[in-house]
Structure 1
Amino acid sequence: MPYDLQHLHAFATIIETGSLGRAAVALNITQPALSRTIKRLEDQVGAPLFERHSKGMHLTDIGGVLLPHATLLLRESEHASEEINAMRGLAKGTIRVGALGTIACLALPQAIDRVLVKWPKLRVYVVEGVWDRLAEGLVKHEIDLALGVSVADSAEITAIKDCRWDDRSHVVAALDHPLRRKKALELADVIDQRWTTTPKGTAPYAHMEQVFADNGLGMPEILVETRSVMMLKNLVAQSGFLSWMPEPLYQAEIKASLLDALPIPGVIGTRTMTAFRRRNGILPGPAVKLLEELRLLMAQDPPASA
């Protein structure tokens, strides 16, 4: 027997709110009515879904198995209603996408602009963050596409093989940094400088670490760690720090003559960027439109500027 979406919605709301009482308020129904709904769902499953305690309700093992399937069914139902209503002119579709900071700075805004020119009624919800945050957003159906560094597929997330591009990174410094006056500059010359980067454990840090290791060097001492792109660029442009940045991140600063890559021969870090989606389920129509524009953008633009 198929599951009733209203029953699954009640089930998911209890998990989200943490108690039967709060869930009843959120659903605008009485607590006894909600209890009856959950009882019908448990009868259909053939086992209890919650363990009831004085501090709230906790999932049983069987409830834990049902949860991801309930979430998928509810999200797919929402996507179907949204797309149908959008086609009927009753509602606007929503693109839900997540991206690493470098992609969010240039490639993603360009793709979004192209989509909205063609489909102005669409709306866009963007999450910017590290890969763990984006992967979690995909699994929890907060976003439908994630743009990040190419990694191995998982049981729940898979790369979209025909939407990928290369991203180049460099050691960057202000245009008046003293190292620019040094002849025959080498990577070893930057080790003793003041450095600012994203924290250890982030993709840019790991990329930088690999490039230094490939050149037989350890990492320089990082004086300032921050996830703020604005802080990184200001420390480089105004305070004499060095940093490791992908090209798209500082295109505006190049044009403003504030900072640029240091001319170190042979030191360019290249990494492959990819679009990801959930392995299971249908990719919603608005997300498909963004994906199409990303494919066109990457085909027309060289990877260095993507």
Structure 2
Amino acid sequence: MLIDPRHLHILAAIVDSGGLSEGARSLGKSQPSLSRIVSNLEARLGEPLFVKGRRPLEPTELGAKLAVEGRAIGLATQTAQEIAAQFSTGHAGSIRVAGTPIFMDGVISTIIAGFQDAYPELRIDQSYGYPDELIDALRAGTINIGICPMEFADVPDDMDFQRILKGRNVIACGAAHPLTRSKSFRLEDISEYPWITQPAGSPLFQDLRDVLASIGVSDFKVSYSGGTLSSIINVLAGSKALTVLPFSVVYMQPKNTIHALPIRIEHPKRELGLLWSKEKDHLPAARQFIRHLTKQFDGVSQAIAERQRQEIWRE
């Protein structure tokens, strides 16, 4: 015998309220409609649900047991409504994000930590990739958002790109590097030191070659290559090696680890931004994440601009 779960919920409200009128008020329904529901349910069951002649209403043994199930149904309904509300407002769910390793580890991970502190019910599934890989993943639907540096001219027609940070690179070294103690030095002086190169597929790999070429250095010593950001920072901190990193990445590190040399170098035309497919609608959680990232990077951009104004950059 099939019983409408809504009728059990109504039965529980009547039992808990002590009467039809009281139950109707608690549910926002009319007393006659509840009376009809109880009568129809008793007819289907072939058993009374309330003891006749008792005031306030007293459930029979069957009525009391069915009311227990009605309470569970009511609780489950309330929980389901709360879950649906959290998903629809972007306070629950999951987001699949991928981005270039240096930015994800050096900048985005810190912002993700703050995001999850504000939205603890949201889950972030993060992976890595360079722009071409991110575009393929977005088209395949395996990620919701890509985070990478790109030029607007390279953004495919089926993708949207929202800039969040202007591209700016710096020559970075360990905080105890000899050049950090030098009051004056020439660009040529940096060519005496070994270099750390990014993985060959990284845009920073070509950026480093471009920087060295701009100061007339074509033959340079590579002391370390292909590592993660964490390993690059460790090598910088413990050696005299130099490398090229985004200023935002250096800015986000503790000052006693790595340092940006005050040397003006040519910056890439690429800008860090959020990439997503035009053909796939954003889930509420993804929209929440985009709003959070955009807001946080507004603050990062202002802080970096202030740092630049406070420092003297050599030509």
Does TM, scored on the shorter chain, surpass 0.5?
yes
CA distance in 2, matches of 1:192, 1:299: 38
Residue in structure 1 matched with residue 280 of structure 2 by the alignment: 281
The answer as to whether partners of 1:166 and 1:303 remain within 8 angstroms in 2 is: no
User: How far is the alpha carbon of 1:146 from its aligned partner?
Assistant: 0.6
Aligned-partner Cα distance in 1 for 2:227–2:161: 25
State the Cα deviation string for residues 184-243 of structure 1 (Å, max 9, x = none).
322222223111121233111122233334445436332321131122111111122111
**Where in structure 2 are the equivalents of 1:1-306 lying within 5 Å?**
86-87=83-84, 92-151=92-151, 152-160=154-162, 163-218=163-218, 220-251=220-251, 253-255=253-255, 257-264=256-263, 266-267=264-265, 269=267, 271-302=270-301, 305=304
Q: 1:144 to 1:89 in 2, by over 3 A?
A: closer
Does the Cα contact within 8 Å between 2:250 and 2:260 map onto a contact in 1? no
Which runs of no fewer than 5 residues in structure 1 stay unpaired?
Answer: 1-83
SS in 1 for 2:238: helix
In 2, the alpha carbon distance for the partners of 1:303 and 1:213 equals: 31
By percentage of residues, which structure has more strand? 1
- Give the whole-Å Cα distance in 2 for the aligned partners of 1:199 and 1:137: 20
TM-score normalised to structure 1 length: 0.61
For the residue of structure 1 that corresponds to 2:282, the secondary structure is coil
Question: 1-side partners of 2:128 and 2:186: how far apart?
Answer: 34
Q: Which runs of 5+ in 2 are unaligned?
A: 1-80, 306-315
Amino acid at match of 2:160: T
User: Deviation of residue 258 (structure 1)?
Assistant: 2.9
- Shift of residue 141, structure 1, vs aligned partner: 1.4
Deviation per CA, 1:20-78, whole angstroms, max 9, x where unpaired? Answer: xxxxxxxxxxxxxxxxxxxxxxxxxxxxxxxxxxxxxxxxxxxxxxxxxxxxxxxxxxx
- Higher mean C-alpha deviation, range 107-116 or range 277-286: 107-116
Counterparts in 2 of 1:115 and 1:196: CA distance versus 1, 3 Å: closer
For 1:115 and 1:180, the matched residues in 2 are separated by 35
Same amino acid, percent of matched pairs: 20
Q: How far apart, in 1, do the equivalents of 2:136 and 2:158 lie?
A: 10
CA 206–304 in structure 1, closer or farther in 2 if over 3 Å, else same = farther
Note if contact 1:209-1:219 (Cα within 8 Å) is conserved in structure 2: no
Instruction: Name the aligned partner's letter for residue 98 of structure 1.
Output: A
94 and 263 in structure 1: CA distance in 2 versus 1, 3 angstrom threshold: same
How many aligned positions are there? Answer: 219
- Secondary structure at the aligned position of 1:301 is classed as helix
Question: How many angstroms apart in 2 are the aligned matches of 1:128 and 1:139?
Answer: 16
Answer with 1 or 2: which has the greater Rg. Answer: 2
